[in-house]
């Protein structure tokens, strides 16, 4: 009764969770454009797309991906052999246990009519599969806690599922071990299955089981005489052998049995094996109920992500389906950290202390944000900054074991954030080159908006000299600013400048305009001069600073050896630091 | 000796042909190279944001190469200049080096400073040599006029990169001539391609690109030839956007030097990815002559 209630409760939570999770694939949206697509439209598009794909030659691609990437996990194999071994052990071992052991009444008995869980090869295989899972869990622990893989961050979710799995496995071995030694269980079996009826036979059979099968009897203890054992053996062969292989085959549980045997009698009285039995099943049910809400959900979303990505293409696929796929992909993420390990800018995490630089953590943040759009202002800025600190090198997408197209996810998420009105001063850096390369995918207004916002935020922050007509207040000159620059060898060269304007004459940006000071705010030589005087506000808001190409024409031309370009870079760094600190 | 190859972040997504053509050419010439699995971005795009972040990124690659006892070879000017600049700063500035080493210690890396940074063109010119290259050219071009675009960061800052003299650079010109192509002198040759501000100020970026394209066309060039990932994207992908946005009917396709050289070495154009260029560059094959012809080497 208790068992059934638990089972059906767990199953219901699992199914409801599954339904709820899958519904989010059609309800949540990632990119700015996907918000307008209705849930019903997305659902129909998904059904239509799936049917059309299955009926097309693309089905061969799906089949290939299913075998290579889903069943044999080629992508993990390429990424890391150790991880592949770990994953194969956990996934393979657990699947086999699930099919042969947990679903024995449905599957194993149908295939093998003579099946008994206490009979070989099943007895041995159960232990073997269990051992394989334990090996996998051991490797997982080793990777996460001993190997110290760079930038692999562990969160609570990573531990929960491993703990649940470990509890299932360990309780299983302990349960089997205590059953082997249990005298009560032995007696129940004799009553239920044997036709032994006289006192002498009882004693002989029990003696044989104590001697050979590890049962710990409160009444009998070895050594037994040959005759009793011979009779016991005979009785065993006629009554028990058909259903019972030697427990030594379950080598782990047998080891447990040997260890606990001094305590076996009292454990038996305290009914410890029932407690372990409950623990074993409860852990299974908790695992089942929790599955849709945990990262274990990747066993459903992962294969779907691999399959969908193998046949979908941003340019040709239905936009509604892309929107759905992108939400689904987030559920496929296992937080394995492969992306962060190979990330082209992952190392920046050491310098810039924003965890969202790392793709694996960015994913976790973006996932939270997509589920409830009410993140804190500070968090939003953090995520946005992390999203922008990306060189779009595609490495994360190439290594993702579940085939998530992270590249597109970042692109869409970045647009969602920077369009929603949080000025991002990083848009004025070379990182915008990548956004520019995908200009075709954005409309003109959306494209310009974040850039204008960033310039405006800069102008507001550096508003000291708002108008050209305002006289400069000498008290507002920033002396520390000049000192900051002097600390570096290249920065300090600004003091050699005698404002000869050679740099400006060499600057291709200045040369591009008829009236450079008007368009650019300041020209290069004016920036050098303003640096010497100590007018950071004037410099930071000038368009010249942010359109500097870094082509080094000015620096090469300078007769005084002023490292003009290097100074402009240093000034950009300072401006960005100032805006970031304030906002 | 093999090189650790620094690939540019833009290539896997936007310029696969630079990876494939470089690999094909290096193989054809027997230059050994290794892809170090842990390599990251050279840090160039971070220079605007945080100098230390940029140096850290470059330093990590230099350390990884050092650990494998290899020199680094790049095919992108921006990677080249950035790695060189970081290498220089780390050698000159003890405090920067200390800070970086503290951070890299976690990964068991330490900057010692023995790694050299080389550009592909430099390796071809100095290590392989013009004479040896010439011998390998089996299908020289005939009548092909090329506007050679050096790109900023292979020449400047001169003191740092020390590749060639920015005023009278000739290394790239001579390498192009090896393929049988003629080089055309053009006024805007040493100007920036405009890529650094693409995405920040597109009008300015297009102005700069347009000026160069027009000048190269007026000088009679059939193609622009580049040896930098950013320059190629600017002259190819961005030029395509520019042509449609500004209603220019005639552009000037750009070809990667590895593609140009690869063709003259007889490498299959599929491996060179010429069909992947956004502005049709397949026409360049018409200039190929299959017969061997002696090439006159002249210094410009």
Summarize pLDDT for B26-74 with one digit per residue, the tens: 999 999 999 998 999 999 999 999 999 999 999 999 999 999 999 999 9
Asked if A576 and B50 come within 8 Å (Cβ–Cβ), the reply is yes
In this prediction, residues A205-216 reach a mean pLDDT of 91
Instruction: Evaluate whether A164 touches A286 at the Cβ level (below 8 Å).
Output: yes
Residue A123: the pLDDT is: 93
**Per residue in A320-353, pLDDT tens?**
999 999 999 999 999 999 999 999 999 999 999 8
B36 touches chain A (CB under 8 A): no
Query: How much is the pLDDT for B290?
Result: 67
Place of tokens 């960061």: B153
Share of residues in chain A with pLDDT > 90 (%): 72
pLDDT at residue B79 tops 90: yes
Q: How far apart are CA A247 and CA A493, in angstroms?
A: 83
Residue pairs between chains A and B whose CB atoms are closer than 8 Å = 163
Shortest distance, CA A569 to any CA of chain B (angstroms): 6
Question: Stretch A176-204: mean pLDDT, rounded?
Answer: 89
Q: pTM to 2 decimals? A: 0.92
- For B:143-162, CB contacts with A below 8 A are 152-153, 156-158
Please judge whether B13 and A428 are an interchain contact, meaning their C-beta atoms are less than 8 angstroms apart.
Answer: no
User: Is B197 within 8 Å of A547 when comparing Cβ atoms?
Assistant: yes
**Percent of chain B scoring above 70 in pLDDT:** 96
Structure tokens, B273: 């990815």
Q: For residue B254, give how far its alpha carbon lies from the nearest alpha carbon of chain A (Å).
A: 17
Q: How far is A287 from chain B (nearest CA, A)?
A: 36
Among A86-100, A209-223, A434-448, B35-49, the range scoring the smallest mean pLDDT is: A209-223
Maximum distance among all Cα pairs of chain B, rounded to whole angstroms: 59
In the block, tokens 């401006």 appear at A575
For residue A121, whether the previous peptide bond is cis, meaning omega lies within 30 degrees of 0, is yes
Pick A549's closest partner by Cβ from B38, B49, B196.
Answer: B196
Tokens of B264: 């003259």
- CA A83 vs. chain centroid, Å, equals 14
CA dihedral angle for residue A162, residue A165, residue A169, residue A171, rounded to 10 degrees: 100
Nearest residue in chain B measured CA to CA from A390 = B45
Is A224's pLDDT higher than 90? no
Q: How far apart are CA A343 and CA A364, in angstroms?
A: 16
Yes or no, beta carbons of A508 and B45 under 8 Å apart: no
Region A421-434: mean pLDDT is 93
- Taking the C-alpha atoms of A348, B192, B75 and A339 in order, what is their torsion angle to the nearest 10 degrees? 30
Which residues does chain A have within 8 Å of residue B60's beta carbon, measured at their own beta carbons?
347
Q: Using a CB-CB distance cutoff of 8 angstroms, which residues of chain B are in contact with residue A485?
A: none
Mean pLDDT of A5-10: 94
Where residue A372 falls among pLDDT bands split at 50, 70, 90? confident
The pLDDT tens digits for B251-289 are: 999 999 999 999 999 999 999 999 999 999 999 999 998
Is residue B12 less than 8 Å (CB to CB) from chain A? yes
Reported as type and span, the H/E element at residue B125 is: none
| Chain A residue at shortest CA distance from B233 | A437
**Residues of B numbered 210-239 whose beta carbons fall under 8 angstroms of chain A's beta carbons: which are they?**
230, 233, 237-238
Q: Which residue of A has its CA nearest to B52?
A: A351
Check residue B225 and report its DSSP letter: E
C-alpha–C-alpha distance, residues A10 and A16, integer Å: 10
Answer whether A568's CB lies under 8 Å from A549's CB.
no
Quick one: pLDDT at residue A200? 87
- Asked if A302 contacts A66 with a C-beta cutoff of 8 angstroms, the reply is no
Q: What is the pLDDT of residue B296?
A: 52
- Quote the pLDDT of residue B300: 43
Name the helix (H) or strand (E) containing B6: strand B3-6
Which domains does chain A show, CATH number per domain?
180-277 (no CATH), 336-461 (no CATH), 474-582 (1.10.1060)
Average pLDDT, chain A: 92
Residue B291 has pLDDT above 60, yes or no: no
Q: Which residues of A touch B196 (CB under 8 A)?
A: 430, 433, 548-551
A152, A341, A351, A357, best to mutate vs chain B, most B CBs in 10 Å: A351
Chain A positions touching B56 (Cβ under 8 A) are 347-348, 350-351
Cβ <8 Å between A551 and B202? no
Please indicate if any CB of chain A lies within 8 Å of the CB of B275.
no
User: Which residues on adjacent β-strands are paired with residue B6?
Assistant: B74
Q: How far apart are the C-alpha atoms of A529 and A472, rounded to whole Å?
A: 14
| E strands, A32-145, in order | none
Contact (CB, 8 A) for A311 and A49: no
Cβ atoms of B32 and B3 closer than 8 Å? yes
Mutation for A interface: B43, B54, B199, most A CBs within 10 A: B199
**Subunit contact A150:B200, Cβ cutoff 8 A:** no
pLDDT of A149 reads 84
For residue B58, the distance in angstroms to the closest alpha carbon of chain A comes to 10
**Which residues in chain A are contacts of B48 at CB distance < 8 A?**
428-431, 569, 572-573, 576
- Given a cut of 70, whether residue A473 has pLDDT beyond it is yes
- Are B47 and A347 within 8 A, CB to CB? no
Two structure tokens written together for B57: 């990124």
Interatomic CA distance for residues B59 and B42, integer angstroms: 8
Which pLDDT band, with edges at 50, 70 and 90, does A479 fall under? confident
Structural domains of chain B, ranges and CATH numbers in brackets: 3-120 (1.20.1050.140), 136-287 (3.40.50.11810)
DSSP alpha helices (H): ranges in A28-71? 39-54, 58-65
Dist CA B51 CA B278 (whole Å): 34
Distance from CA of B191 to the nearest CA of A (A): 7
From B146's Cα to the closest Cα of chain A, the distance in A is 23
- The partner residue sitting opposite B201, judged by closest CB among A440, A547, A563, is A547
pLDDT in tens, A554-572: 999 999 999 999 999 999 9
Categorize the per-residue pLDDT at B102 as very low, low, confident or very high, splitting at 50, 70 and 90. Answer: very high
**So what's the pLDDT on residue B195?**
98
pLDDT band at A491 (very low <50, low <70, confident <90, very high): confident
For A260-270, what is each residue's pLDDT tens digit? 999 988 998 89
Residue A387 has which token pair?
Answer: 């999203």
The DSSP bridge partners found for residue B5 are: B73
| Residues of chain B positioned with their CB less than 8 A from the CB of A572 | 48-49
Residue A239 has pLDDT above 80, yes or no: yes
Tell which residue, B239, B229, B224, B230, has the closest CA to residue B184. B224
Euclidean distance between CA atoms A531 and A537, whole angstroms: 10
Query: For testing the chain A interface, which of B43, B49, B90, B204 should be mutated: the one with the most A CBs within 10 Å?
Result: B49
Residue of A nearest to B95 (CA): A488
Question: A195: how many CB neighbours lie within 10 A of its CB?
Answer: 9
Q: What are B183's strand-pairing partners?
A: B146
Kindly determine whether residue B41 and residue A345, on different chains, have CB atoms separated by under 8 Å.
yes
Site of tokens 């976690």: B106
Q: Using N-to-C axis directions, what is the helix angle for A156-181 and A251-260, rounded to 10°?
A: 70
Phi and psi at B148, nearest 5°, equal -80, 125
Give burial (CB, 10 Å; 0-12/13-18/19+) of A429: buried
A73, pLDDT greater than 70 = yes
- Helix, strand or coil for residue A542? coil
Count CB neighbours of B138 within 10 A.
12
């Amino acid at each position: 009764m208790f068992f059934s209630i638990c089972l059906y409760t767990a199953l219901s939570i699992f199914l409801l969770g599954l339904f709820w999770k899958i519904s989010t694939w059609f309800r949540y949206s990632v990119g700015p454009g996907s918000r307008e697509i209705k849930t019903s439209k997305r659902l129909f598009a998904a059904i239509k797309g799936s049917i059309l794909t299955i009926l097309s030659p693309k089905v061969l691609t799906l089949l290939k991906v299913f075998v290579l990437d889903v069943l044999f996990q080629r992508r993990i194999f390429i990424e890391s052999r150790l991880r592949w071994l770990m994953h194969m052990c956990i996934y393979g071992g657990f699947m086999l246990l699930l099919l042969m052991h947990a679903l024995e009444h449905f599957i194993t008995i149908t295939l093998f009519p003579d099946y008994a869980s206490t009979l070989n090869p099943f007895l041995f295989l159960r232990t073997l599969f269990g051992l394989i899972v334990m090996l996998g869990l051991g490797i997982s622990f080793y990777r996460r806690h001993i190997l110290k893989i760079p930038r692999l961050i562990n969160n609570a979710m990573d531990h929960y599922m491993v703990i649940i799995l470990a509890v299932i496995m360990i309780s299983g071995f302990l349960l089997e071990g205590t059953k082997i030694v249990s005298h009560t269980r032995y007696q129940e079996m004799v009553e239920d299955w044997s036709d032994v009826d006289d006192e002498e036979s009882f004693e002989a059979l029990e003696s044989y089981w104590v001697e050979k099968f590890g049962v710990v009897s409160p009444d009998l203890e070895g050594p037994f005489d040959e005759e009793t054992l011979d009779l016991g053996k005979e009785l065993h062969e006629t009554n028990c052998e058909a259903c019972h292989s030697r427990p030594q085959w379950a080598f782990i549980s047998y080891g447990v049995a040997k260890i606990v045997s001094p305590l076996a009698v009292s454990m038996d009285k305290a009914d410890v094996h029932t407690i372990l039995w409950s623990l074993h099943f409860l852990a299974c049910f908790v695992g089942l109920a929790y599955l849709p809400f945990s990262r274990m959900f990747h066993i459903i979303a992962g294969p779907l992500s691999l399959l969908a990505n193998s046949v979908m293409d941003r340019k040709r696929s239905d936009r509604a389906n892309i929107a759905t796929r992108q939400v689904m992909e987030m559920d496929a993420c296992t937080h394995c950290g492969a992306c962060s390990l190979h990330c082209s800018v992952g190392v920046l995490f050491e310098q810039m202390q924003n965890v969202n630089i790392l793709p694996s953590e960015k994913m976790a943040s973006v996932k939270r944000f997509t589920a409830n759009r009410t993140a804190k202002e500070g968090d939003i800025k953090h995520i946005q900054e992390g999203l922008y600190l990306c060189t779009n090198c595609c490495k994360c997408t190439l290594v993702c074991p579940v085939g998530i197209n992270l590249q597109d996810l970042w692109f869409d998420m970045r647009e969602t954030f920077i369009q929603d009105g949080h000025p991002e001063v990083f848009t004025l850096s070379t990182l915008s080159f990548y956004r520019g390369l995908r200009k075709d995918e954005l409309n003109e207004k959306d494209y310009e908006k974040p850039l204008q916002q960033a310039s405006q935020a800069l102008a507001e922050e550096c508003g000291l000299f708002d108008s050209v007509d305002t006289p400069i207040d000498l008290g507002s000159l920033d002396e520390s600013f000049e000192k900051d620059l002097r600390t570096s060898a290249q920065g300090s060269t600004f003091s050699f400048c005698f404002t000869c304007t050679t740099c400006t004459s060499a600057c291709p940006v200045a040369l591009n305009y008829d009236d450079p000071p008007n368009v650019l705010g300041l020209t290069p030589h004016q920036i050098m001069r303003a640096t010497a005087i100590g007018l950071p506000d004037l410099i930071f808001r000038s368009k010249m600073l942010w359109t500097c190409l870094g082509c080094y024409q000015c620096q090469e031309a300078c007769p005084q050896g002023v490292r003009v370009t290097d100074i402009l870079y240093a000034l950009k760094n300072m401006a960005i630091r100032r805006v970031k600190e304030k906002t | 000796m093999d090189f650790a190859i620094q690939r540019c972040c833009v290539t896997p997504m936007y310029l696969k042909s630079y990876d494939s053509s470089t690999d094909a050419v290096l193989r054809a010439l027997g230059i050994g190279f290794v892809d170090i699995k842990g390599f990251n971005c050279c840090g160039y795009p971070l220079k605007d944001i945080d100098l230390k972040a940029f140096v850290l990124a470059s330093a990590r690659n230099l350390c990884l190469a050092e650990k494998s006892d290899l020199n680094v070879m790049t095919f992108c000017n921006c990677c080249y200049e950035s790695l060189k600049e970081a290498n220089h700063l780390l050698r000159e500035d003890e405090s920067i080096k200390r800070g970086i080493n503290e951070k890299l210690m976690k990964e068991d890396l330490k900057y010692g400073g023995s790694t050299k940074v080389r550009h592909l063109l430099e390796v071809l010119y100095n290590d392989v040599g013009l004479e040896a290259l010439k011998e390998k050219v089996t299908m020289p071009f005939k009548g092909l006029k090329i506007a050679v675009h050096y790109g900023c960061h292979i020449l400047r800052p001169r003191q740092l990169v020390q590749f060639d003299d920015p005023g009278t650079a000739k290394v790239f010109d001579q390498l192009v001539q090896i393929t049988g192509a003629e080089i055309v002198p053009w006024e805007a040759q040493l100007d920036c391609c405009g890529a650094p501000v693409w995405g920040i100020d597109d009008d300015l970026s297009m102005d700069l690109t347009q000026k160069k394209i027009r000048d190269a066309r007026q000088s009679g060039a059939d193609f622009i030839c580049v040896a930098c990932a950013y320059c190629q994207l600017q002259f190819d992908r961005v030029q395509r956007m520019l042509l449609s946005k500004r209603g220019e009917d005639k552009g000037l396709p750009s070809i990667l030097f590895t593609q140009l050289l690869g063709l003259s070495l007889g490498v299959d154009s599929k491996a060179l990815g010429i069909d992947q260029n956004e502005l049709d560059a397949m026409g360049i094959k018409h200039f190929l002559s299959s017969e061997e012809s002696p090439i006159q080497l002249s210094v410009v």
